[in-house]
């Protein structure tokens, strides 16, 4: 199927559906200048994820982990939503039952205006106290290393889900509800490597949703979805609404 006929088919579905769920990954933010994790210039290329994005790494060397997050915060502080993020805000306005599940911690969906959203891996501008558990927003760039809790002076960590850590049960519950009730699932800019997000496509497919993948390249899931369209999110997503 050519991408133009696939886009036409998907556009028709989106024009009539009353239940749309969207799953996004780092690829939707690539066009805002945010490096992806596993691409050519991927964030992970210089380090192994376990070295930095894990509770063990933070316990072993909180300074190194905060150096990395401080670098990402400085990078993200100047990044803006792109037409793909903004088109999803318009789709949320048009579709009664809309839910966006993002793996991204870059805050670009909230700043674009998306309301009905689960940030299942957390948000880079939120910090959590390792002592009292308080979660606050901290937009200091740079952030003082090592940051302390203003309530109990405990060590603050990024409020981000690391490898080996469980996702927030509320986020999971809401995500599975959105995956089980949607008529259409749009999967945009994710390599489909990280669990449990990697299992979300099959969950929606199992209950009969029309599943579309928009990605720069084919992924291991491309032959399992109804339409797989290759291209840049900033170019493809705006074409889905007339």
Q: Which residues bind Zn ion (CB under 5 A)?
A: 129, 131-132, 149, 151-152, 154
Cβ-based nearer residue to ligand BV8, 17 or 104:
104
In our burial notation (b when 16+ CB lie closer than 10 A, e otherwise), range 91-123 reads bbeebeebbbbbbbbbbbbbebebeebbbbbbb
Query: How far is 53 from 161, CA to CA, in rounded Å?
Result: 8
Q: Are 183 and 204 a contacting pair, CB within 8 Å?
A: no
Element (H, E) at 123: strand 122-129
Q: How many CB atoms lie within 10 A of CB 49?
A: 15
Answer yes or no: 85 catalytic.
Answer: no
Element (H, E) at 108: helix 108-112
Contact partner at residue 104 from ligand BV8, Zn ion, none, CB < 5 to 8 Å by partner kind: ligand BV8
Cβ-closest residue to ligand BV8? Answer: 27
Work out which of 16, 46, 78, 166 binds ligand BV8, going by CB under 6 A: 166
State the binding string over 175-194 for ligand BV8 (x if CB under 6 A, else -): --------------xxx-xx
Annotated catalytic residue, options 109, 121, 159, 207: 121
Whether the bond into 104 is cis, omega within 30 of 0: no
Place of tokens 């957390």: 122
Rg (CA), the chain: 18
Contact partner at residue 227 from Zn ion, ligand BV8, none, CB < 5 to 8 Å by partner kind: none
Whether the CA torsion 199, 173, 184, 94 is positive or negative: it is negative
Q: In whole angstroms, how close is the CB of 72 to ligand BV8 at the nearest point? A: 7
27 binds ligand BV8 (CB under 6 A): yes
Stretch in the footprint of ligand BV8 (CB under 6 A) among 6-14, 26-34, 55-63, 138-146:
26-34
Work out which of 50, 148, 206, 217 binds ligand BV8, going by CB under 6 A: 217
Q: How many CB atoms lie within 10 A of CB 61?
A: 13
Question: Which residues have a catalytic role annotated?
Answer: 121
List contacts with ligand BV8 (CB under 6 A): 25-27, 30-31, 36-39, 42, 53, 103-105, 121, 160-166, 189-191, 193-196, 215-217, 219, 232-233
């Amino acid at each position: 199927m050519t991408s133009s006929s696939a886009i036409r088919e998907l556009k028709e579905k989106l024009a009539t559906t009353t239940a749309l769920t969207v799953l996004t990954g780092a690829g939707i933010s690539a066009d805002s200048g945010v490096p992806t994790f596993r691409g050519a210039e991927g964030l992970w290329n210089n380090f192994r994820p376990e070295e930095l994005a894990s509770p063990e790494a933070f316990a072993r060397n909180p300074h190194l982990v905060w150096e990395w997050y401080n670098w990402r915060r400085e990078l993200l502080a100047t990044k803006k939503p792109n037409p793909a993020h903004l088109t999803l805000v318009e789709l949320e306005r048009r579709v009664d039952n809309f839910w966006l599940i993002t793996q991204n911690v870059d805050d670009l969906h909230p700043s674009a205006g998306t309301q009905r959203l689960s940030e299942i891996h957390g948000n880079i501008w939120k910090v959590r106290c390792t002592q009292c558990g308080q979660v606050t927003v901290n937009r200091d760039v740079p952030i003082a290393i090592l940051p302390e809790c203003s309530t109990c002076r405990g060590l603050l960590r990024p409020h981000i889900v690391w490898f080996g850590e469980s996702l927030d049960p509320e986020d999971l519950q809401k995500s599975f509800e959105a995956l089980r009730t949607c008529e259409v699932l749009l999967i945009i800019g994710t390599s489909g490597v990280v669990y449990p997000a990697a299992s979300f496509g099959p969950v929606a497919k199992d209950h009969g949703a029309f599943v579309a993948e928009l990605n720069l390249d084919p992924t291991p899931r491309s032959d399992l979805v109804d339409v797989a369209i290759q291209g840049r999110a900033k170019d493809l997503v705006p074409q889905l609404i007339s």
